[in-house]
A and B are shown apart, each in its own frame.
Chain A
Amino acid sequence: MKFTPPAVTGLGLLAALTDAQILENSDPEDIDGDGISGVPNYITPPDYFQPQWFHQSFSGKFIGRFGKKAASIDLLQQTATAYNQDMGVTSTFEPLDVATDLTIDPEVSDQTIRDVVFYLRTLKAPIQRDRDVSDVIHGQQIFSDIKCGSCHIPTWTTPESDIEALSNKTFYPYTDLLLHDMGAGLDDGATEGSAETYEWRTPPLWGLGLSADSQGGELFLMHDGRAKTLEEAILMHGGEGSTSRDSFEQLSETDKQKLLTFLKSL
């Protein structure tokens, strides 16, 4: 089982959204008949989770929004869990040592965890480049035409936040934070919360054009890095992404390139 490390930029904006905003795009029964459902991952919160005004409880569960399958409700859970499960570092939040299965002394302080959470909340979001270039504009239109934006929702606006810089900000992450059936080809046989083995959270696309630069010049796309190019990643979309994938395949070579140019501008 392999996972690529998550991109961590702009997370504060995603964390500031309300559950109600996320639910607006959920369509579990596909009532609009567009082939896209989109469901939240309902997570049993850890003991240390403190609901904010924008969280909603669903029989004691809360909507996850971070992680490959949206298994973390907030950035504190995401951070404490990442320290513990990804790096084997215990804290008072997640005290169980994954190597020995014993509760051991916290190896990282609460203060450090909270410092990292604040850092993640306030790390700037990626900024799109070449927005006025005609191929980028045309590529963005194609992105919309072939319905990529049904899941990779471009635009969101935050409500009021305890951090003024996060309040009432319009931003462009290209995600709906919901789970989607991505087909058998991407089924990893693993579940998290209410996420099925073939369900994945729509990953934000912002920063996509800069990711190769921060990864030694190579791309590692999809949940486990199996796609080495943007085109490969698009063609690996199954399930709810099949229609958009097929539409991409039917594009002219010129239009494909424009779409890819747009994605590289993010």
Chain B
Amino acid sequence: MVNIKIKYLVFVCSVSLLFYSCDEVFPEAPAENELLDGPMEGLSFSEQNRFLAGDVAFNDEIFTPESGLGLCLWPLPVEAVIQEMGKVILSPRLHDLGRHHPTKIQTSHLEPHNFRTGPFRDLSRRGYPLESLL
């Protein structure tokens, strides 16, 4: 009888410990309307699979040192990629043009004097003439 009581007590304590431990380990999940991620409602099974493939491509594939371009990526005009946790991710933070990468990756081609040969040379360079209007 005593043995059963002890077992019961240990069980209750274990469950309680597990419950409160998990409560501290896992923060409360954000509500659906507080998330900026996830597929829209109403996708078919095959569309959800395509969404997941795109999710991987957008968020992981290209930006990993192991399987993608990794750290050789550095944005030219947007200057908005940072190196974080061994993975280059899109960042909302702004970086000054010509700033050197913290990992000392060669970025001299990004210096301002070379920017005029960069990506916006034909699109939005200062003084570039407007395309003719209709």
Chain A interface (Cβ within 8 Å of chain B)? Answer: 1-5, 7, 9, 12, 42, 44, 58-59, 61, 69, 71, 84-89, 98-99, 101, 107-108, 112, 115-120, 122-129, 163-166, 189-194, 196, 207, 210-211, 213-216, 220, 224-225
Contact = CB atoms under 8 A, between A and B. Distances in A.
B62 A89 contact: yes
Query: Which secondary structure dominates where chain B touches chain A?
Result: loop
Interface residues of B, number: 57
Nearest to A122: B51
B58 A119 contact: yes
Contacts of B56: 115
A207 B33 CA distance: 10
Contacts of A123: 37-40, 51
B83 to A, nearest CB: 13
A126 B32 CA distance: 9
Given A118-B51, A210-B34, 6 more contacts: A98-B119, A112-B62, A122-B40, A127-B32, A165-B43, A215-B93
A225 B117 contact: no
A133 B4 CA distance: 54
A163 B47 contact: yes
Interface in B76-99: 76-81, 90-94, 97
Contacts of A164: 42, 44
A112 B61 contact: yes
Nearest to B31: A129
B105 interface: no
A112 B55 CA distance: 10
Contact of A194 (B41, B42, B131): B131
Contact of A116 (B41, B58, B81, B131): B58
